[in-house]
Amino acid sequence: MAVYEIGNYIHDMRIERGYSQEELCFGICSVGNLSKIENGTRMPNRKTVEAITQRLGCREAFLQYSSREEMKQVEICSQIVQKITNYDYEGLETLIDQFESTITKEDILNSQYCRFTRIILQQETNPDWEQGIRELEETLRMTKPDGIGMKGILKGLLTYNEIVILINIARGYRKLGRREEGIEILYGLKRYMDTHIIDQTEKVQKYPMILFNLSNMLLDKKQYADVIDLCDQGIAMSKENNRFCLFPKFLINKGLALLEQREEEQAKESLLRGYCAFYALGNVRQCERLRVYLKETWLDTISNTLSGHQNMP
């Protein structure tokens, strides 16, 4: 795609959505640079176009041009995403180091993502949630203006990096017992995804993360009907899009909420389905954790049922 075509596409989508140049490009590039991109007089790098189109809620499939350095970044970044998604932290620091070595000083967007991944790794190996939240907020401020609160950020335009950072800030608030702040962020993100993001490919990657973390917090608050509704949305989206990373967890959270509502048969079915989904995905550790948890609480009969499925073919 020619430079003019990329710029023209960005311009047309920005006008269609009613965004000013200032709100679209803040933290990504200057207004002057965006004007040159839209006019076709400047070739933007891949990451800049990705961030702009993410804020516009558009697909990035047309972005086929890349330098050798950018292709290397994309390759390493995809490996990092895969490891974080699978909670596989072995070798992650090495990948982050490799990724960081490709980043130039003025590359704010990749620097932001690199900093975010280091914080996630640190929280898994040596958790300090207060410090983690501070660092995540500082990372978010790399592309968001100082002086506005979380409500202001959620009312603005967001890149996918910013969305994931916000999800992890909300998770940190839950760890500190500050659930209301976490819930406010997650509901804000849910509204944003419902009203802004039009690319289904990206929505099915980020939306379930919001639903799952929100269901955890509402389960803590004993808002069981809301938990069941959120989990049903997550279950449906997982099945419709063949994405099963969070599928068992939605089933389990739904089962726990049903138990609290004394819907024991439905709860048993949901918990058993969650167990079987973990088993089918080869997650033996989660299977055992679920069985032990239920046995240690009040559900010996369900725990015994799950034990009977340990030797499933």
pLDDT along the chain (313 residues), means of 10: 68 92 95 94 88 84 60 85 83 96 91 96 92 96 85 90 95 96 97 82 88 98 98 96 93 96 92 92 88 71 59 44
Question: Is residue 114 included in any domain, yes or no?
Answer: no
Answering whether pTM is above 0.85, one says no
Domain that holds residue 25: 3-56
Predicted pLDDT at 125: 86
Predicted pLDDT at 303: 58
Question: Is residue 11 included in any domain, yes or no?
Answer: yes
Q: How many domains does the chain have?
A: 2
Predicted pLDDT at 83: 87
Question: Is residue 310 included in any domain, yes or no?
Answer: yes
Question: Is residue 194 included in any domain, yes or no?
Answer: no
Predicted pLDDT at 81: 87
Question: Is residue 275 included in any domain, yes or no?
Answer: yes
Question: Is residue 263 included in any domain, yes or no?
Answer: yes
Asked whether the CA dihedral 75, 84, 121, 28 is positive or negative, the reply is positive
Question: Is residue 21 included in any domain, yes or no?
Answer: yes
Question: Is residue 113 included in any domain, yes or no?
Answer: no
Predicted pLDDT at 148: 76
Indicate which CATH number applies to the domain containing 9: 1.10.260.40
Predicted pLDDT at 308: 56
